[in-house]
Structure 1
Amino acid sequence: MFSGVSIDQILLIAVIAAIVVGPERLPKFAQSLARGTKQVREYVRSARTRVEEEMGDEFSEVDWQKLDPRQYDPRRIIRDALLEDDAPPSPTASGAAAATAVPRPRTAPLVPRAFSSEEPPPFDDEAT
């Protein structure tokens, strides 16, 4: 129900609220609480109906159990990601050999390049 709130604590809060509200106003307070609960329930029901109408058949076809975050298992997600193929296999034998070949590392050192006002350095708009 509530995280970290026990039944004893809820009863204590209810008794304190009854004392604070007083016996004269308690029936009106209970009626307004019941009315508010009914309004919230009706609002949720109408929102659910509206979503079902707008989503159509797609909404009823969704497997909600699969989307439940309590079903999250990081080991299964990692295993599925490692076992799935990244690229489709090539139909030719030479393509398969090229796909498994490791690129050679760069042997020439990077040389710093001087830029001028006519040729400014490259700009990366995605860099921070």
Structure 2
Amino acid sequence: MFGINGWEFVIIIVVAMLVIGPERLPTYAEQLGAMVRRGRDLLQNAKARVDDELGPEFSDVDWSKLDPRQYDPRRIVRDALLDDSPSEYPRPAADGAVRNGMSATSAGAAAEPGKAPYDDEAT
């Protein structure tokens, strides 16, 4: 609640009692309660009105997925790096390795159709 812990709330209440005084405190507490109830009613009415105007097709939308605070770049990169899906592109063959029955040097000369030739001696 607004970043206030229990002890800070107690201190605020004690200071309010001392500043306002015991004779006016019940009146102000009643006004504060009425203001909170009125604010809660306004928010509920606004939510109901938005739901009515948007219609039933938006009633099942998970709005928490659209929260911009969830898009942490560190989490996105970590999830992408830990993804176990196989790579779409094969890794190039190492020096002296055999790929598709050809050595790495001859594989660059006769690349597969649709793929760029790989030359391990290129700089």
TM (norm. structure 2) is 0.56
SS at match of 1:34: helix
Tell me the CA shift for residue 63 of structure 1.
Answer: 1.4
Aligned length: 86
Q: Name structure 1 gaps, 5 residues minimum.
A: 80-93, 101-128
* Structure 2 residue identity aligned to 1:13: I
User: In the alignment, what sits opposite 1:2?
Assistant: 2
User: In the alignment, what sits opposite 2:20?
Assistant: 21
**Higher relative contact order, chain-length normalized (CA < 8 Å, sep 6+):** 2
Paired with 1:13 and 1:54, the residues of 2 have a C-alpha distance of 41
Paired with 2:33 and 2:12, the residues of 1 have a C-alpha distance of 17
* Structure 1 residue identity aligned to 2:61: V
Paired with 2:42 and 2:13, the residues of 1 have a C-alpha distance of 26
Tell me the CA shift for residue 73 of structure 1.
Answer: 3.9
Q: How does 1:50-89 map to 2 (within 5 A)?
A: 50-69=49-68, 71-75=70-74, 77=76, 79=80
* Structure 2 residue identity aligned to 1:65: S
Please list the CA deviations of residues 39-97 of structure 1 after superposition, one character each: whole Å capped at 9, or x if unmatched.
00000000000100111123212112322445434256453xxxxxxxxxxxxxx9x67
User: In the alignment, what sits opposite 1:36?
Assistant: 35
Shift in CA distance, 8/76, structure 1 to aligned 2, threshold 3 Å: closer
* Structure 1 residue identity aligned to 2:2: F
User: In the alignment, what sits opposite 2:48?
Assistant: 49
TM (norm. structure 1) is 0.54
Q: Name structure 2 gaps, 5 residues minimum.
A: 81-112, 117-123
